[in-house]
Amino acid sequence: MRHLLNYMITRILLAIPMVFIMVTLIFVVLRVMPGDPVSAMLGGHAPQRVIDARKLALGLDKPITVQYVEYLGQLVRLDLGNSMVFNEKVSTPIIEKLPATIELTVFGLLVSLGLGIPLGAYAARRRRTGRDFGIRLYANVVYCIPVFWMGLLLQLVFGVFLSWFPVSGRTSPRVDVSTFSHTGFYIIDTLRIGSLAAFGDVMWHLVLPAVTLGIVLSGIFVRLTRANMLDVLKSDYILAARARGIPERRVVYNHGLRNALIPIVTMLGLQFALLLAGAILTESTFSWPGMGRLLLERIYLRDYPVIQGVIIVYTLFVSAVSLVVDLLYAVIDPRVKY
């Protein structure tokens, strides 16, 4: 337990320079990009004296090194700053939009794992058969499909032609969000007040975005699960289990799959960053009011502080998930030592 605690502390300390590097990169890149955020904010036709006055008010007239030091001082105080476009703290829209992105990412991950791991294990069990070929073909195809194209396709088929699912938003217009929204997590909030109708509506709106995100990323887990399962099924303990007469299904799923999960869990941590990136395009496609749409909107408006704040939050999430994944090793495989 002491070794595990030391490992956790070490990983948390190592996350600090990673966040620092990311903050530095995004800060510099935003300020060396062509274009003037103040001119874009004022419409591009404002007099120069108005532009200069606005830059002075926002502190953009200072040298970039001074701006950088001041921004680091804000971060040390856990202050992400103020929006350049709207009269609000950067943390205000982030807190408002973050729950929607977390819900979409979590359910997209569940769909991805729910498809990828069983299909990969089944393909390994039926290796070199038509079913194995079909599953591998599915994995290669969905891996190559852009997430926005998959979203548009599902919208067209299941939203427009069949009218089974809504194609945008988190709730229907008839649902009064103010009656249950407390934490921002609509699923939790609707269950908290016991409104099954609102809960069903929230879940119904979540289906297409989560399936879009999950299907595109499931191909990675199909291929990874199949490859690791094939290696595990060649192990001596698998041969011994078969020699004892244990049914093949139980050998594959009870004995083989558990030991093939370690590299899958590793990939899970790495894919979380891709899930967040995919969520940006998915949110844009489905008009999902999350962090992805917020980021795209503020990039268009050149709202530097909000862009930086969103990237920092993404970085912290990826670091936290990587830490949790590493700690899961000890649960999955007791041989892992820290």
Q: Which residue, 1, 132, 4, 55, is CA-closest to 304?
A: 55
Confidence (pLDDT) at 40: 66
Given pLDDT bands bounded at 50, 70 and 90, which one contains residue 231?
confident
Q: Average pLDDT for residues 295-312, to the nearest whole number?
A: 84
Confidence (pLDDT) at 70: 84
Q: Going by C-beta distance under 8 Å and a sequence separation of 6 or more, which residues neighbour residue 248?
A: 125, 242
DSSP percent split of the chain into helix, strand, coil, nearest 5:
75, 0, 25
Tell me the per-residue pLDDT of 16-30, one tens digit each, with 9 for 90 and over: 888 888 888 888 887
Q: Which residue, chain included where needed, has tokens 């120069």?
A: 48
Confidence (pLDDT) at 157: 92
At position 261, the amino acid (one-letter code) is: L
Most confident of 32-36, 40-44, 200-204, 267-271: 200-204
Query: What average pLDDT is seen over the chain?
Result: 81
Q: How far apart are CA 231 and CA 224, in angstroms?
A: 11
Tell me the per-residue pLDDT of 59-117, one tens digit each, with 9 for 90 and over: 777 788 888 888 888 888 888 888 887 878 888 889 888 888 888 888 988 998 889 88
CA distances from 217 to 99, 103, 107, 144, 251 (A): 21, 16, 12, 10, 27
Q: Which residue, 47, 71, 49, 42, is CA-closest to 59?
A: 71
Helix (H) or strand (E) holding 204: helix 196-232
**Who wins on pLDDT, 8 or 315?**
315
Map out the domains of the chain with their CATH numbers.
2-76 (no CATH), 96-332 (1.10.3720.10)
pLDDT exceeds cutoff 70 at 1: no
CB 291 within 8 A of CB 310: yes
The beta-strand segments (E) located in 159-231 are none
Most confident of 54-58, 93-97, 265-269: 93-97
Helix (H, G, I), strand (E, B) or coil at 129: coil
pLDDT exceeds cutoff 60 at 334: no
* pTM given for the model: 0.81
Q: How far apart are CA 123 and CA 73, in angstroms?
A: 53
The β-bridge partners of 89 are 82
**Who wins on pLDDT, 82 or 6?**
82
Q: Going by C-beta distance under 8 Å and a sequence separation of 6 or more, which residues neighbour residue 115?
A: 214, 215, 218, 221, 222
CB 281 within 8 A of CB 148: yes
Given pLDDT bands bounded at 50, 70 and 90, which one contains residue 36?
low
The β-bridge partners of 82 are 89
Confidence (pLDDT) at 209: 92
**Who wins on pLDDT, 254 or 216?**
216
CB 191 within 8 A of CB 198: no
Given pLDDT bands bounded at 50, 70 and 90, which one contains residue 148?
confident
